[in-house]
Amino acid sequence: MPRFILNNNQQANGDYEVHNTTKGCDWMPDPQNQIDLGWHADCHKAVAFAKTKYPERYRTNGCIHCCPDCHTS
């Protein structure tokens, strides 16, 4: 089961991105900007968890590079 983090920095388009730390990603935020989301079966569950746990970051989606199935904008 992969582990995911949420980038604490908002992207230029207003999104917060979920990254798969198990898979790895060249676009991973610096450690001080990572919010641990824990282990999830897939990126869809990790994004849903992030939206529930951090509702102020409602524009959350997957990184196009490491979570392409969950990338929406």
- d(C-alpha 18, C-alpha 46), whole Å: 7
Quote the domain boundaries for residue 24. 3-70
DSSP notation for 3-56 = EEEEESSPPTTS-EEEEETTT--TTPPPGGGEEEEEE-SSHHHHHHHHHHH-GG
Reported pTM? 0.93
Q: pLDDT tens digit string along 13-70? A: 999 999 999 988 999 999 999 999 999 999 999 999 999 999 988 899 999 999 999 9
- Count of domains forming the chain: 1
What pLDDT was estimated at residue 57? 84
